[in-house]
């Protein structure tokens, strides 16, 4: 779950400021025409957005005439678990985003207490696609309309036998989301609201569906950031969760983050994240660190 925390900030920082389509290309397909901090970072599931939330922005610094891409690596540590997260995302013409993330959820010594063995790891692959439907988060300042995008994420967990043993229905699931993001330049604010349809337990790290429910639930993801300078963004996020497993109730997640852009090619994010109870272990809160590089 640590991975969730750390990405929460990183994604929020970069993705929230992503804009694009209205700028002119500068020097070929990899034009890099967006403003500093508008290239986006990567959330825990690989999409541009907040660390905990997927936003409407498209990854990369490309405009409508180019292609952009980012790679990321994230490490999150909470008292009883840790997460390693890495992946790649590509933005096409500020319209389409394709992404991949690999999540390695390490139970450490807690795995022994759960009967899984010390260092037991749940690995999950997430393949995502996002399409900008309307609006531009940055350049449509004269309009109240935010940038709106629709996305889908295909998730597969490698621990099907364990997932079924704890009451999960499947090791594979699909999330659907609709996101709205707005950058208010006069107020130096970045705002996002996302509705996600999901069956995921702990975003899929504990499988999908369960003995309590196997139906899709509409969950909320919200992010807000304040741009202190052209390089530094601070803010917070909140994400609601379904409760599908009888043996372990899930809590909503929240984080507080600070993200710093060294330049258009490299950014770093640190955050404090509170993930509540995970697999019966309460008070899972800690620090995440994330690095992103791209163009």
Q: Please name the residues in contact with 123: beta carbons below 8 A apart, sequence gap of 6 or more.
A: 102, 103, 104, 105, 157, 158, 159
- Identify the pLDDT of residue 38: 64
Task: Give the pLDDT confidence of 37-63 residue by residue, as tens digits.
Answer: 665 678 999 999 988 999 999 999 888
SS3 state at 144 = coil
Using an 8 Å Cβ cutoff, are 78 and 285 in contact?
yes
pLDDT confidence bin for 293, thresholds 50/70/90: very high
Number of domains in the chain: 1
Residue 172, judged by CB atoms within 10 A of its CB (0-12, 13-18, 19+), counts as: middle
- Identify the pLDDT of residue 15: 39
Is the pLDDT confidence value at 258 over 50? yes
- Identify the pLDDT of residue 245: 95
Task: Give the pLDDT confidence of 127-185 residue by residue, as tens digits.
Answer: 999 999 999 998 888 898 999 999 999 999 999 999 999 999 999 999 999 999 999 98
- Identify the pLDDT of residue 64: 84
Taking Cα atoms as reference points, which of 67, 56, 66, 52 lies closest to residue 12? 52
Instruction: Look up the domain containing 142 and give its range.
Output: 2-294
Task: Give the pLDDT confidence of 196-227 residue by residue, as tens digits.
Answer: 999 999 999 999 999 999 999 999 999 999 99
* Mean pLDDT of all residues belonging to the chain: 88
**CATH number for the domain that contains residue 188:** 2.40.160.40
pLDDT confidence bin for 7, thresholds 50/70/90: very low
Q: CA 273 to CA 217: how far, in whole Å? A: 23
Tally of CA atoms within 13 A in the half-sphere of 71 that contains its CB: 0
Give the N- to C-terminal CA distance of the chain in Å, as an integer: 28
Is the pLDDT confidence value at 5 over 50? no
pLDDT confidence bin for 264, thresholds 50/70/90: confident
For the residues 112-134, what does the mean pLDDT come to?
Answer: 94
- Identify the pLDDT of residue 1: 43
Least confident of 15-29, 98-112, 180-194: 15-29
With residue 112 as reference, give the H or E element that holds it: helix 110-113
| 120-154 residues labelled b (16+ CB within 10 A) or e (exposed) | bbbebbbbbebebeebbbbbbeeeeebbbbebebe
- Identify the pLDDT of residue 37: 66
Token pair of 193 as six digits:
């609201």
pLDDT confidence bin for 32, thresholds 50/70/90: low
């Amino acid at each position: 779950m640590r991975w969730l925390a750390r990405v929460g900030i990183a994604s929020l920082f970069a993705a929230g400021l992503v804009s694009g389509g209205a700028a002119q290309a500068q020097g070929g397909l990899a034009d890099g025409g967006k403003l500093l901090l508008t290239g986006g970072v990567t959330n825990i599931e690989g999409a541009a957005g907040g660390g905990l939330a997927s936003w409407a922005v498209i990854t990369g610094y490309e405009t409508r005439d180019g292609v952009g891409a980012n790679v990321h690596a994230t490490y999150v540590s909470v008292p009883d678990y840790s997460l390693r997260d890495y992946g790649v995302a590509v933005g096409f013409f500020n319209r389409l985003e394709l992404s991949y993330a690999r999540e390695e959820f390490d139970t450490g010594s807690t795995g022994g207490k759960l009967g899984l063995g010390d260092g037991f790891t749940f690995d999950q692959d997430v393949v995502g696609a996002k399409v900008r439907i309307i609006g531009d988060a940055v350049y449509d300042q004269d309009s109240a309309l935010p940038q709106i995008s629709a996305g889908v994420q295909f998730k597969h967990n490698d621990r099907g036998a364990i997932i079924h043993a704890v009451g999960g229905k499947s090791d594979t699931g699909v999330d659907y989301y609709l996101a709205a993001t707005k950058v208010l330049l006069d107020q130096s604010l970045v705002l996002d609201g996302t509705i996600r349809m999901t069956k995921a337990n702990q975003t899929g790290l504990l499988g999908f569906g369960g003995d309590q429910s196997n139906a899709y639930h509409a969950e909320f993801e919200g992010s807000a950031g304040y741009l202190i300078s052209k390089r530094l963004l601070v803010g917070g996020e909140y994400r609601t969760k379904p409760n599908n497993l009888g043996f372990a109730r899930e809590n909503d997640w929240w984080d507080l983050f600070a993200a710093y852009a060294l330049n258009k090619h490299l950014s770093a994010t640190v955050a404090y994240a509170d993930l509540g109870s995970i697999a019966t272990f309460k008070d899972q809160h800690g620090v995440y660190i994330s690095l992103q590089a791209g163009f």
